[in-house]
A and B are shown apart, each in its own frame.
Chain A
Amino acid sequence: MSDLYFEPAHALHQKLVGKELSAVELASAVLDRLESTEATLNAYLLVTRDAALRAAEATDRRIAAGEAISYWDGIPVAVKDNMCTKGIRTTCASKILQNYVPPYTATAVGRLLEQGAVMVGKTNMDEFAFGSSTENSAFGPTRNPWDLERVPGGSSGGSAAAVAAGAAVAGLGSDTGGSVRQPASLCGIVGMKPTYGRVSRYGLVAFASSLDQISPVTRDVRDTAEMLKVICGHDPMDSTSSPDPVPDYAEALNSDIKGVKIGVPKELMGEGLQPVVRASIEAAVATLEELGAVCEEVSLPHVSHTIPAYYLIAPAEASSNLARFDGVRYGYRAERPEDALAMYKRSRGEGLGPEAKRRIMLGTYALSAGYYQAYYGQAQRVRTLIIRDFEAAFARYDVLISPASPSVAFRLGEKVDDPLQMYLSDICTAPANLAGIPAASLPCGLEDGLPVGLQVMARVLDEPAVLRVAYAFEQARGSLGAPPLN
């Protein structure tokens, strides 16, 4: 049973249906693996062992009754701790929500659980999703299963590390500037941000309302397609959710990409890339060409302004979204405040971590009188220019590819003292958030034992194009194997 926890959901589903395995055996195997790796990895903030086993028992009852079970029924999944789970502690890896228990469940999580998925726990993250390394968690960093001295990426580092290590079969993360794609890249797994609005944000603790999307974190592209089928779709509880019907994403899993036109934005293959990443992506281009795709360099000139624009827009929206954490209705309240103003200032001052404070202040400054037009207003205009660059590119190309991260996993502590250096980790991923387009990262290679991720992007609502190219590449490339973690 030792390899069970490394199998993708589709293989496990077949075993459950074929009665080679019970859901309780599967959940136990994954929970045991979780427990044996957790002291080292710190991927989880909360493990829900009892609830998971009860859910697995329910799956087994359905199977015993001869019911047809769905793809995700009985599959152990991890949920990033910024998604509300009713009655189950949800902290966003922050002291300010250390004991917060939500009275409702996020729509996307609910849809997955309704399928019978077995939630094994809530995963670690950068506090309020502010970060690219999971080092900003108030509860300690998560370590990369491929090299324990290195970061798993962030902010969905816990979910990515868990799936990579076999401590969950699949999971949910969230992606605002790259927070699922970059950790997927650093941990050697698949992470896909859907088109903005494709997945309900109801119950996702908001960071940047025009950028956030809940995103699947999986072992392979098929599992991503199947998870998207479940979580995508209009939600009346989220008025920013798209009314567009959800296609059967599994139909896109076709390994024939002959004639597909692929653009490689030169601004994403620039100076800031580590040589090993560049080499890995160039090898990927060769593989795609062998599969019959046509790859060409393209320019997205305004994409080189992504980080300045993103680090004005996202913190501005975050400063507004985090205003609710004031000690009034939930979360941490400072002791014996002399008046309401002191309550707000001290609760927030004592409960929020340094990166949260930096972003709130950046955002507040960018929105303040006298600076609004120069910073936030200008960033919104740059956003339009970036969107136009993508639209022009997609008129000529079916998909665009790039690295998902400018580097392989960096060492713990390496960038914590230089926030700007940390922000530059998002250079490959943030353009897709600004433009609202779907984008996935999938394993591309191992360089000195560290994973590199290939990013595939397509136009708005064209998840099928992303999935098709990703699947074809994945089938040709084969697996990276499991991390050498014991």
Chain B
Amino acid sequence: MISKEDVRYVAQLARLELTPQEIDVFTGQLGTILEYAGQIANLEAEKVPPTAHALPLTNVFRKDEVRPSLAPEEALAAAPEREDDAFVVPRIV
């Protein structure tokens, strides 16, 4: 089972602000889901290689040539706040 402290910690990692009510509800729901999903821990699979990707592609590269890309105006068009060619955000530190 997962505790409320776990939920608060995970929410912090995920940069999610939750209300006390959400913390209550999610603690119960996540606990149930993780208990169910955790059943795979019982499977003997130590020697099985993990699959991250169903399609066996590696090193998909292209030539290091400059190509057209999104213009600064287009990239900034949806900005909540901007100044010249920069996204403006509140203080970080």
Binding site for B on A (CB under 8 A): 100-101, 103-104, 195-197, 210, 236, 239-240, 242, 305, 307-309, 311-312, 319, 323, 326-333, 337-346, 348-350, 352, 354, 357-358, 360-362, 364-366, 368, 374-375, 377-385, 387, 419-420, 423, 434-436, 460
> Chain B residue with minimal CB distance to A384?
B51
Judge whether B87 and A360 touch: CB under 8 Å. Answer: no
Judge whether B55 and A197 touch: CB under 8 Å. Answer: yes
Judge whether A330 and B79 touch: CB under 8 Å. Answer: yes
What are the residues of chain B within 8 A of A360 when measuring CB–CB? Answer: 14, 16
Judge whether A343 and B89 touch: CB under 8 Å. Answer: yes
Interface of B is mostly: loop
Judge whether B52 and A339 touch: CB under 8 Å. Answer: no
- CA–CA, A196 and B10, complex, Å: 31
The 9 closest A-B CB pairs, nearest first, are A436-B54, A349-B17, A380-B50, A330-B78, A333-B80, A345-B17, A103-B74, A239-B60, A344-B15
- CA–CA, A101 and B76, complex, Å: 11
A–B Cβ pairs within 8 angstroms, 21 of them: A101-B78, A236-B62, A239-B57, A326-B15, A329-B78, A330-B78, A333-B80, A337-B90, A339-B90, A339-B92, A345-B16, A348-B14, A357-B18, A375-B37, A381-B45, A381-B51, A387-B54, A419-B32, A420-B33, A420-B36, A436-B55
Judge whether B87 and A380 touch: CB under 8 Å. Answer: no
Given the known interface contacts A240-B57, A331-B78, A436-B54, the answer about A312 and B43 at a Cβ–Cβ threshold of 8 Å is no
Judge whether B32 and A420 touch: CB under 8 Å. Answer: yes
Q: Which of B8-67 contact A (CB under 8 A)?
A: 10-11, 13-18, 22, 25-26, 29-30, 32-34, 36-41, 43, 45, 48-55, 57, 60, 62
What are the residues of chain A within 8 A of B22 when measuring CB–CB? Answer: 354, 357
- CA–CA, A319 and B70, complex, Å: 26
Instruction: Pick the residue among A348, A366, A375 that contacts B17 (CB under 8 A).
Output: A348
What are the residues of chain B within 8 A of A368 when measuring CB–CB? Answer: 10, 13
Given the known interface contacts A104-B70, A362-B30, A384-B49, the answer about A196 and B14 at a Cβ–Cβ threshold of 8 Å is no
Shortest beta-carbon distance from A37 to chain B in Å: 32
**Size of interface on B: residues with Cβ below 8 Å to A:** 51
Instruction: Pick the residue among B29, B36, B43, B77 that contacts A101 (CB under 8 A).
Output: B77
Judge whether B14 and A361 touch: CB under 8 Å. Answer: yes
Binding site for A on B (CB under 8 A): 2, 6-7, 10-11, 13-18, 22, 25-26, 29-30, 32-34, 36-41, 43, 45, 48-55, 57, 60, 62, 70, 74-75, 77-81, 87, 89-92
What are the residues of chain B within 8 A of A329 when measuring CB–CB? Answer: 75, 78-79, 87
Given the known interface contacts A357-B22, A362-B33, the answer about A210 and B54 at a Cβ–Cβ threshold of 8 Å is yes
Instruction: Pick the residue among B26, B48, B49 that contacts A361 (CB under 8 A).
Output: B26
Shortest beta-carbon distance from B53 to chain A in Å: 5
What are the residues of chain A within 8 A of B30 when measuring CB–CB? Answer: 358, 361-362, 365
In the complex, which of the residues B6, B10, B62, B77 has the most CB atoms of chain A within 10 Å of its own CB atom? B10
Shortest beta-carbon distance from B85 to chain A in Å: 12
In the complex, which of the residues B2, B10, B30, B40 has the most CB atoms of chain A within 10 Å of its own CB atom? B40
Judge whether B90 and A308 touch: CB under 8 Å. Answer: no
Given the known interface contacts A423-B33, A434-B54, the answer about A343 and B43 at a Cβ–Cβ threshold of 8 Å is no
- CA–CA, A378 and B54, complex, Å: 16
